[in-house]
Chain A
Amino acid sequence: MSEINEYSTDEQIVKKVIKGEVRLFKHIVDRYENKIFSIGMRLFKNYDDSYDFTQEVFLKTFEKIDMYRNKGQFRFWLTKLAYNHGINKLGSIKKDVSLNNEILDEKSITPDKLHLKNEIKDILAAEINRLPEKYRICLDFYFFMGLSYREINEITHIPVNTIKSNVFRAKDVLLKRLKGTIAEDYNEM
């Protein structure tokens, strides 16, 4: 019997998957499917390619899971694998859509498509979408993937200072908006 539950860390789950408890891989997919799909949406800007990309990433992750040997956090390893796969796929399917292209299909950025659960997420989503497109993925990686500046830099090669200043601006806006909206309900304990 495995004692894996919703509070188990990714690393604990992956360790058991490597040891042969393959069915536990489902927990990893459940935890990360929307985050990986979001990387897809940032890169391919359409649902179908992003959906295929998400499936490919998890199959690849399973195939290569032996290569993850507690080298840092699993989510960093997974993000790096997904991002690299996305960049390769992008190169092979669309030569004309560059990461520096500022125009994103408007349909895919409207707030109702973002499905962020609560107010904080909506505020951040609006802030992310105000950024030039190539930096949006940095904020996804920072806020939703929980990666550090250096980890994001290692994956995307965007300079640490650029990542830092974009994250700072987003946090600043987040705080100002939080103070103006939900702060009244927030009681000091």
Chain B
Amino acid sequence: MKCNEAIEHFLKLDRYEKPAVKVRIHIFLCKDCRRETRLVAESLIALQTGSSFKLESGISNNIMEAIGAEQCPQRRDVSSFKWLFVWVLILASIIAVPYNKQLGFLRMHFGVNFELPFVIVMGLAITLYSVIYIATHVEEIKNSVSFYDKK
């Protein structure tokens, strides 16, 4: 492999893309190419702190003031994982309740008269819980759906 071919290959690489093995070997063995590729790589890093144009003065204080003056959006501290955990907990208790001794007695005593309203009430409870979760996380759900759609 010639030096100019190795350098051309190297310059065409995307960010984070690794050179082909034969190019890597050439660069490893060739002092000139090693020097040139390092020059380019270091320049790319140096450039990331720059920009084409510059503001006459920073705006971060204005922005922070504007943010402070505005009503800060309500921040959610409860993670989706915790929501799911509680959901599973509710579901598990619904499933476990009929096995409870006291309730087993009620069931024996009232039969369907007890079981049907119980299932309806617990079903409503878990539906309500799910609705609250969806209503408070609409944007995130929308985002995740469009994210997976693209994939």
Contact (Cβ within 8 A) A69 B140? yes
Q: Please provide the chain A residues from 101 to 138 with a CB less than 8 Å away from any CB of chain B in the complex.
A: 108, 113-118, 120-121, 124-125, 128, 136
Which of B14, B35, B47 is in CB contact (< 8 Å) with A186? Answer: B35
With both beta carbons as reference points, the residue of chain A lying nearest to B64 in the complex is identified as A26
Q: Is B12 interfacial (CB-CB < 8 Å)?
A: yes
Chain B residues near A79: list those with CB within 8 A: none
| Cross-chain pair count, CB within 8 angstroms | 141
Considering the chains assembled together, what is the distance between the CA atoms of A150 and B58 in angstroms?
Answer: 31
Contact (Cβ within 8 A) B11 A171? yes
Contact (Cβ within 8 A) A114 B62? no
Which of B36, B52, B64, B73 is in CB contact (< 8 Å) with A125? Answer: B52
Chain B residues near A25: list those with CB within 8 A: 63-64, 67
Chain B contact patch, size range: 35 or more
Chain A contact patch, size range: 35 or more
B-binding segment of A81-89, A90-98, A139-147:
A139-147
Contact (Cβ within 8 A) B53 A168? no
Considering the chains assembled together, what is the distance between the CA atoms of A131 and B14 in angstroms?
Answer: 20
Using a CB–CB cutoff of 8 Å, the interface residues on chain B facing chain A are: 7, 11-12, 14-16, 31, 34-36, 39-40, 43-44, 46-56, 58-60, 62-64, 66-68, 72-73, 75-77, 139-140, 143, 147
